[in-house]
Every structure is written in C-alpha cells, then in structure tokens.
Amino acid sequence: MNNIEKEYQRWLTSPVVDEESKKILRNMKQDEKEDAFFKNVEFGTAGMRGVLGPGTNRLNVYSIRKVTVAFAMYLLKTFPKAKEEGVVISHDNRHQSREFTLLSASVLNDFGINTYIFDSLRPTPELSFAVRYLKACAGIMITASHNPKEYNGYKVYDETGCQLVPDKIKGLLDIVAFLPNELDVTYVPEKIKGKNVVLSHEVDDEYVRLCESIQIHPELDKKGYKIVFTPNHGTSYVNSMRIFKDLGYEIYPVLSQCDPDPDFSGTLSPNPEDQRSYIEPIKLAQEINADLVVMTDPDGDRVGLAYKHSDGSYQTLTGNQSAALLADYIFSERKKLGLLSKDGVMYNTIVTSSLGEEVASYYGVKTEQFLTGFKFIGNRIDYYEKHGGPKFEFGYEESYGALIAPFARDKDGCQAILLYAEMALFYHLQGKTLDVAWKELNERLGWHADKVYSIEFKGPSGQANMNKIMKELHDHPLTELMGHKIYKVEDYLKLERNDNGKISKIDLPKSDVVKLFLENKCTVAVRPSGTEPKVKFYIGAVAKDEKNAEALPDELYKEIKRVLAIND
C-alpha cells in the first residue's frame, strides 16, 4: 500500500472524521484522492492556504484545529501576557470562514487566551489595524484572498499587526511539526478559559476615520466624476462605500457583486489580476459613462483599476502601472505641499517593475526591496519607526497591493482605492485621462512594460516538474537570452549575487527565486507561487518607445520556456 492510499484509509477509518467527510472520500476519483493526500497542507511563511475538503492536503476543521493549537502554544511561549492581551480574529466571505473563525476562537479560549472577533466579515487590513488598536498580541485572518472559490486560508499576525516574518514564524513551524497529525492532536483545556468578545463598531469607525485622513487634496471638486466600485463579493463593501460617500464621491456599486457570496456567482473571477473580474464593472461604467472603475479582492487587500481612456474605451492597469502612477502622484503632490520627507523611503519587492524605483529616485525618495509578501514591508516599517527612520512614504507589490499610511501593516485596498480615485480625479480636472498621465511618466523616465506569466502544475507530478525547473535555474544559471548577455544573476535560495563574476551576499531570507538581469535593461524573475501550484515569471522590459517595450516581455517569456523545455 503506497503512502497516498495509507493516508486515505487513515481518514476513512478514523472515528474522529465526520460522516459527511467520509462520504466525500468514498466518492473521490483516483486523481482527486492523489491530490488530497499526496502531501500535508503546508503552513509556511505566508500562512496556510489550500482547497477546502477532507484530506491531508486540504483545509478543513482538522487542519485548522491543529494549527490553532500550535499557535496557542506559540503565543503562550512567546508572550508573558498572551492570555490577557488576546488574539483578534477576522474572516472573509468564503465557505467555512465563519466556522473556522469560531473554531479558532474556541481552541484559543481553551488555552486560556482571550479572543476578539467581529460580528461578520471584515477586510484583512482592518484585522491588521485592529491588532494594533486593541494592543493584542496576535491576529488571525481566515481568508484565501483572491484565490478561486474552492480555497480558504489561515494567516497569522504578530503584535505589530504584521504577518509573521520567517524568524518569528520559525518557532510556530517547529511546534506544528512537533504535534501529531491533524486527526490525533489532543490537549487538556485550561480550567479558566479565555473570553471571546464580539467587537463593537468602534474599531470600524476608527479604521474608516484613518482611511479618510490619507487624502492629499480633499478639496478637489468631485461633482460629476463617476466611479464604479465592486468588492467582488468580499469584505470591503461597507467600509469602502462609507468612505466614498463621507468624502463626497459619486460612487456606483456593482450591485450583483456586493453580497458576500462564497461562490462568487456575480463574477467570473474575484482576482483583480484576472481580466474577467472587470467584465461587469466595465459594463456598468459604459452604461453610466463613468470615469473610473475600482475594485478590491475578496479580503480587501488587493485592488484593481480600470479607467476611461482618451479614445473613450475602458482600459485596465496592471499592479506595476497603477502603483508607479500613484507613487508619482503622491510624491509630487506631497513635495509641492512640503509634506515629502527629506529622509523618505518607498518599499516594494524584488519582482516589481524598475519604474517604481525610478519614480522614487526622481523625487529623492530611497527604495528598499524585499521578497514577495507584504509582511517584509510591514516588518521594516515597524523596525524603522523604532529606530528613528527613514520615514515610510509608500509601499506596494506588483500583485495589486499598496499601503499609503502605516496604521495598518498589510496592503490596504480601502486606502488604495481612495487614493487612486483622488489621483484620477486630480488628472481629470486637468483634462488628462490616465493613459495620458502614463505616457507622460514613461516619456520622462523611459518606456517600461512589465508582465507576469504563470504555469500551473497540479498533483505530485506537477510538484516534481516545478522542483525540476527551479533546480535547473539554480544549478545552471543562464548566461544569455535572445542574444542579450545576462550580466547579473540573483539567487535568493543561495542568497548569492553574481554581478559580472563578482560574488556578493544577499541580505534577505532564503527564498526559491532566481532573478536575471540582461544587458538591454530587461529583467526576468522566476519563482514558485506561495499559494497555488504555479511557477510565476515576472518579466520587465525597458525601451525607448512604447511599441518595443510592449513586445519584449512576450518574446522573453517564449524564449525562457524554450530554454527550460517547458510546455504549457
């Protein structure tokens, strides 16, 4: 009997597993069985995310219970006042999110730890804020972010409202590894249990107030400027609508996407990176002749943007494009008002476009880059606040997430869509559409085109293929692509930078990423996704004109697939 069959039988015969789960197990096809049992669902540096259902490679009450037991043990070991300070828990709109929230609270209460939950779903950035506001020792967010409806997830936050960075999460991972399997975990509840408190709307009020305070030009005339908004059935509807209405914006919600529906029945995709998520919002925009479309993903941390082009059509912006435009607007206007720090810093990641750094440099703002995962940005904000600077000015990831003011320590969709609306309105009042603003920015700093490609690898054979591709890149670094010399290779697994033969160390945590720098100013970064069975290719091009810049990423992607013998 192979290991997959052994694990399957363990679940099927266990008295712990509920009958409904066993029914699903009995009806599994062979490929479904293999995917559900070929490994344990991983609790990594980005938390835990996976497909819902029975199995070791699935999210269910058993896997959630085990990791919450481990988190309780970790907190009691780490924080002397963990029981009193407590844990804030929030959740998104997904299947079993409320159930997982109440289960997590119950387990923590059994360990004597107080918990604070909301009366219903709330955005991830508000969870981050609430941890700080309540001075809790930790937070839990039950969410699968922008993943398809079959998924859910579990993210953990420290006392600063930031997701646990690797050196902090190691202690938790050690406990997870030490515990028995998900069906055999047991514990003796404390005699004095922790209290579970349902939070009042005071937290919402303060979060909304702080979001509204980030405006740079609150005086802009908003009359007649129409904005379409969708929360993609997720968590940000109430807060975002309140913010827009408080500040006088003419806002039109996509009503078919406002209910917190776990099946996302009103959209073909809840992911702002997916063009299908813009179909309904743009349809409404066309009906009412709107100027702008803004959206958040289900847990309210990522954002999407579409705008009325100068030719009258509606066009979308990538996360790299929208963030570069927003950084330019923020730095420019803060500088005019004397609000830009002389010791300012912007944060992004190693896979974001080089345009962001060039924008920051133009205004005298430094840039620091981190691995993907906003926790690294949140952690550095906290570090610099405690050590006297530099001052945080802006932070973003290419994956459609940004943070303007650090009262939250995660990317914040409510903040971002407000500032995107202000930026677009600012240009509108000057007679400019966003494509004109984008053109002016690129003509000033050079034409940039950045695209993200991904290839999915399912099941055990897919995992093996992913590992093979990454091993090839680590073991046999490429020296040229399309006839262009690769003059620098950054290997984040080896933490080594080879710049024309000069070797230096990379001062970041280890990560399975390889980044190539070509002599024609193009870059290629390759990494496995931390949340889905995919390999991602981040390709950035710089050219003298738009046409050449736009053509290069597709050409480079085709070439690197050929070199690595990938058929997708």
The verdict on 241 and 357 lying in the same domain is yes
Whether residue 327 has pLDDT greater than 90? yes
| Residue 526 neighbours by CB distance under 10 Å | 21
Number of domains in the chain: 3
DSSP classification of residue 497: E
pLDDT score, position 480: 94
- Nearest residue to 232 via CA among 224, 220, 240: 240
The verdict on 482 and 440 lying in the same domain is no
- Which tens digit of pLDDT belongs to each residue from 387-406? 998 999 999 999 999 999 99
| Site of tokens 């345009």 | 355
Alpha helices in 192-318 (DSSP H): 202-212, 237-246, 279-288
pLDDT score, position 119: 98
- Which tens digit of pLDDT belongs to each residue from 2-16? 799 999 999 999 999
pLDDT band at 533 (very low <50, low <70, confident <90, very high): confident
Residue 22 forms part of a structural domain: no
Residue 543 forms part of a structural domain: yes
pLDDT band at 459 (very low <50, low <70, confident <90, very high): confident
Whether residue 229 has pLDDT greater than 70? yes
Whether residue 463 has pLDDT greater than 90? no
Give 497: exposed, middle or buried? Use CB within 10 Å, 0-12, 13-18, 19+: middle
- Which tens digit of pLDDT belongs to each residue from 142-183? 999 988 999 999 999 999 999 999 889 999 999 999 999 999
Residue 212 forms part of a structural domain: no
- Which tens digit of pLDDT belongs to each residue from 107-122? 999 999 999 999 999 9
pLDDT score, position 456: 87
The verdict on 427 and 465 lying in the same domain is no
- Which tens digit of pLDDT belongs to each residue from 63-80? 999 999 999 999 999 999
Q: What is the mean pLDDT of residues 269-291?
A: 97
Residue 28 forms part of a structural domain: no
Q: Is the dihedral of CA 81, 72, 408, 418 positive or negative?
A: negative
Whether residue 39 has pLDDT greater than 80? yes
The verdict on 441 and 451 lying in the same domain is no
Q: What is the 3-state secondary structure (H, E, C) of 417-455?
A: HHHHHHHHHHHHCCCCCHHHHHHHHHHHHCEEEEEEEEE
Whether residue 1 has pLDDT greater than 60? no
Q: Hey, what are 525's tokens?
A: 């970064």
Q: What is the mean pLDDT of residues 174-194?
A: 96
Whether residue 460 has pLDDT greater than 80? no
**Helix/strand/coil percentages in the chain, nearest 5:** 40, 25, 40
Domain endpoint, select from 419, 445, 471? 445
Q: Which of 21, 63, 104, 145 is an active site residue?
A: 145
Residue 24 forms part of a structural domain: no
- Which tens digit of pLDDT belongs to each residue from 331-350? 999 999 999 999 999 999 99
The verdict on 261 and 400 lying in the same domain is yes
The verdict on 544 and 464 lying in the same domain is yes
Domain that holds residue 46: 39-202
Whether residue 46 has pLDDT greater than 80? no
The verdict on 270 and 385 lying in the same domain is yes
Residue 210 forms part of a structural domain: no
pLDDT band at 495 (very low <50, low <70, confident <90, very high): very high
Whether residue 312 has pLDDT greater than 80? yes
Least-confidence region, from 186-195, 204-213, 390-399, 559-568: 559-568
Whether residue 458 has pLDDT greater than 80? no
Catalytic residue check, 145: yes
Whether residue 265 has pLDDT greater than 90? yes
The verdict on 150 and 258 lying in the same domain is no
DSSP classification of residue 194: P
Task: Determine phi and psi for 25, rounding to 5 degrees.
Answer: -60, -45
Domain endpoint, select from 412, 445, 478? 445
Q: What is the mean pLDDT of residues 400-422?
A: 98
The verdict on 82 and 62 lying in the same domain is yes
Q: Considering the chain, what percentage of its residues have pLDDT values greater than 70?
A: 99
pLDDT score, position 530: 66
Type of residue numbered 224: G
Partners of 481 in the beta sheet? 484
The verdict on 260 and 395 lying in the same domain is yes
Q: Hey, what are 315's tokens?
A: 């066009």
Neighbouring residues of 437: CB distance < 8 A, sequence distance ≥ 6: 325, 427
pLDDT score, position 45: 65
pLDDT band at 368 (very low <50, low <70, confident <90, very high): very high
Residue 559 forms part of a structural domain: yes
Indicate which CATH number applies to the domain containing 505: 3.30.310.50
Alpha helices in 143-216 (DSSP H): 166-178, 202-212
Type of residue numbered 24: I
Residue 30 forms part of a structural domain: no
The verdict on 508 and 398 lying in the same domain is no
The verdict on 439 and 453 lying in the same domain is no
Indicate which CATH number applies to the domain containing 262: 3.40.120.10
- Averaged confidence pLDDT in the chain: 95
Domain endpoint, select from 168, 202, 236? 202
Q: What is the mean pLDDT of residues 490-519?
A: 95
Contact 131, 141 (CB under 8 A): no
